[in-house]
Amino acid sequence: MARHELRAAAMGSILLALACGEHQGPGRIDGDALPAELVSARGADRARAAEALAARTGTPAPQGQILFGDLHVHTVFSADAFMMGLPILQGEGAHPIADACDFARYCSALDFWSINDHAEALTPRRWQETTESIRQCNAIAGDEASPDLVSFLGWEWTQVGSSPEDHWGHKNVILRESEAGRIPRRPIHSASFATRAMRAKLPLVTRYGLPLLDWSNRQYAANLFHFQQELRETPDCPEGVDTRELPDDCLEGAETPQQLFAKLDQWGFDSLVIPHGTTWGLYTPAGSAWDKQLNPAQHDPERQRLIEVFSGHGNSEEYRGWRGALADPVTGQGICPAPRDGHEACCWRAGEIIRDRCEEPDSALCEERVSEARRNYLDADVLGRFTVPGATTADWSDCGSCPDCFLPSFGYRPASSAQYIMALSHFGDAPGASPERFRFGFMASSDNHSARPGTGYKEYGRTTQTEARGARSELWRRILRPESRADVEPESRPFDRDSGRVQPFQLLDFERQSSLFLTGGLVAVHARERSRDGIWDALVSRQVYGTSGERMLLWFDLLDGPAGVLPMGSEASVFRTPRFRVRAAGSFVQQPGCPEVARNALSPGRLEHLCRGECYNPSDERHAIERIEVVRIRPQVKAHEPVDGLVDDPWRVLPCSDDAAGCVVEFDDPELLSSGREAIYYVRAIQAASPTVNAAGLRCSARDESGRCLAVDPCYGDYRTPTTDDCLAPSEERAWSSPIFVTPASP
């Protein structure tokens, strides 16, 4: 056969493979409800711990029970999750919603969870299949008054702005109900860059290269292209029409939080809107701050009652005074800040990379190139790495990181941290009116993209339990990462956003981010009963806390509230010095493998596919709680009051005794009444350090006298780090209480 005939035959085979793409459905749930006695035993274990701690103070044990869940879970119905399943990215293939139901019930043994696929990719068919699968998961959960697992319906509103002014960030929408007629007929996407990115065609080299160079997995690639084609063929809903009057076969968008809240109001169903990833520099412009979201238009205090402070993408809790970029107060132009407190802005690092390439680093020409590199990076913002051709992950060091934060998110944005957000006040025009403030409860979840709710129960499986992914070979890295094959050049170059030379899914810097992906967190609720309504009421009342993945038990109370003891999440006006009590018990030490109930419920193949040989499998021994840290925030009392100085972290550090039953401490604030200003208090319960996946981040191996990192040893998500290496390092797992909001009462 002639060469041109061979090429034609190969092309024909590829086109045939691409044309055979199939719709990826929701999958089939395999497991049944857990035995009632096992579910009761979980509650009994937590009740005994509560009673033991209460006995230490001679007080009654708290009413209700603590339940653990994950309110941030993605499946193959999310475009990025579908991409992560590609075998050439060392993915495992498709993980549909049915996998999440079985995983939550048998692998992670959760009490509740929610589905939160990106609305930007949820076609009408996928939304219908999502609702049906969630109903099936609930239908097998047993008695509605005490189900083994409560599954909530929801989606993610994935907004990404091109500048700090139009960036609003990501928010999860959680619905109370899942039955037909009691939920929106379609999810609401963000109508932003994320929407366009998920609809964009992959470049030709990828479309044809995937099936040709990975022929044994060609069907998965074809299904991915079918996924995108189905999305592109779904029309947009007409604008300016009441959401209840729109047709069912279109994609509905809301460009701002205000529009999202308005559409949810039109439906009128109970829902929560939970911001997350507020400090993530992966997509958040460097100058972003949450100030613009605190106003009556862009904030709905009835729905926005919780904020996610921790996930598999890292910690978003802590405030720092440095910034990744500054604005000139006169011209408004970007300024690249010099390193401070161990933090090096990536725009500054871009200049240092160019400086290292200069033949004469001290020359005026080199300094001009350094300054230009910093300007180019600032102009490109989150796409800044494209302005320095040939720069490697190691070249960028740990720029953008928060070096002294607990497991921080990538490219940290401190002016969008939970502490900064809680310190804000909005002063209206009405004289004497009370300022508006955020009243967020604190929670955590996983943000897992492989249908695995609650992945933090054990520290294992870096490339399955976290989002760490990467090319399985150098060939695929060069195909998927165009800058990895760029020639090293002695000077920077501007990045043209409209050039088309970089596809949307290549823009985000997942190569560096892979060193910071974690197994994820959990949300815990103090529920009056083990039911959907009990969990929902706890969420709405902010009687919740977050953990870094461990099932720690935590109570935080104001002892002398106006009506007696008040739990976390409460608001109070007090006439005397407030006094608080914290009770905490460590999580159970885990045993290897999976318990008998999981081995009996799922086939060996199914169990291995989902859990990878490890399940939540507690012993009778608990980890020790080493200390309680108290954080105090005093919100702004006048417009533009600097946030620096308003966040006391830690305000108090209270050691715990070496008691296996847990820790009980009390503290007060004699300064509150004399200060005349509101104070927000929350606590962190800190466990003894234990090995944690990716706890060392980019693994800085040397720092200068100012604390700036000089060299890193990244834990790659691709072939350069073995998948068997979980990149473990010691970390102090923790739980964050929701705040208690205390105002000194007027005489």
3-state secondary structure 398-436: CCCCCCCCCCECCCCCHHHCHHHHHHCCECCCCCCCCCE
pLDDT at 487: 81
**Domain limits, the chain:** 1-30+62-318+421-454+521-551, 321-404
pLDDT at 180: 92
Q: Is 19 exposed, middle or buried (0-12, 13-18, 19+ CB in 10 A)?
A: exposed
Rounded CA separation 454/174 (Å): 17
Q: What is the mean pLDDT of residues 705-710?
A: 90
Q: How do residues 588-628 score in pLDDT, each as one tens digit? A: 999 999 999 999 999 999 999 999 999 999 999 999 999 99
**CB-CB neighbours of 91 under 10 Å:** 22
Lookup: tokens for 19 = 């044309």
pLDDT at 329: 81
pLDDT at 495: 87
Query: In terms of DSSP bridges, do strands 690-693 and 647-655 run parallel, antiparallel, or are they unpaired?
Result: unpaired
Give the pTM. 0.95
Q: What is the DSSP letter of 118?
A: B
* Alpha-carbon torsion, ordered 193, 198, 199, 202, to 10 deg: 110
Lookup: tokens for 512 = 């560096």
Q: What is the mean pLDDT of residues 219-237?
A: 93
pLDDT at 322: 96
Lowest mean pLDDT segment, chosen from 155-159, 194-198, 380-384, 544-548: 194-198
Taking the CA atoms of 360, 361, 367 and 371 in sequence, report the sign of the dihedral they define: positive
The band of 2, judged by pLDDT with boundaries at 50, 70 and 90, is: low
Rounded CA separation 619/345 (Å): 44
Tell me the sheet residues that pair with 629: 653, 684
pLDDT at 476: 80
pLDDT at 8: 55
Q: What is the pLDDT of the chain when averaged over all its residues?
A: 92
pLDDT score of 14 more than 60: no
Closest by Cα among 40, 360, 18 to 222:
18
Lowest mean pLDDT segment, chosen from 293-307, 464-478, 579-593, 713-727: 464-478
Lowest mean pLDDT segment, chosen from 114-123, 312-321, 483-492: 483-492
Q: What is the mean pLDDT of residues 492-499?
A: 80
Closest by Cα among 312, 546, 315 to 446:
312
CB 380 within 8 A of CB 495: yes
pLDDT at 197: 78
Lookup: tokens for 107 = 């692998």
Lookup: tokens for 571 = 């608001």
The band of 214, judged by pLDDT with boundaries at 50, 70 and 90, is: confident
Q: What is the mean pLDDT of residues 40-62?
A: 88
Q: How do residues 233-265 score in pLDDT, each as one tens digit? A: 999 999 999 999 999 999 999 999 999 999 999
Q: What is the mean pLDDT of residues 422-433?
A: 86
pLDDT score of 381 more than 60: yes
pLDDT score of 732 more than 60: yes
pLDDT score of 213 more than 90: no
CB 88 within 8 A of CB 214: yes
Q: What is the DSSP letter of 237?
A: P
pLDDT score of 431 more than 90: no
pLDDT score of 17 more than 70: no
Lookup: tokens for 602 = 């799922």
The band of 19, judged by pLDDT with boundaries at 50, 70 and 90, is: low
Q: Which residue has the higher pLDDT, 194 or 640?
A: 640
Lookup: tokens for 400 = 């953008």
Q: What is the mean pLDDT of residues 523-546?
A: 97
Lookup: tokens for 556 = 């935080």
* C-alpha 62, offset from chain centre: 30
| CATH no. of 1-30+62-318+421-454+521-551 | 3.20.20.140
pLDDT at 498: 65
Q: What is the mean pLDDT of residues 377-400?
A: 93
Rounded CA separation 530/388 (Å): 54
pLDDT at 172: 98
pLDDT at 246: 96
Tell me the sheet residues that pair with 154: 174
Is the bond preceding residue 650 a cis peptide, omega within 30 degrees? yes
pLDDT at 199: 79
pLDDT at 10: 54
Q: What is the mean pLDDT of residues 83-100?
A: 94
pLDDT at 211: 83
Lookup: tokens for 157 = 């509103």
The band of 634, judged by pLDDT with boundaries at 50, 70 and 90, is: very high
User: What proportion of the chain, given as a percentage, has pLDDT over 70?
Assistant: 95
pLDDT at 733: 98
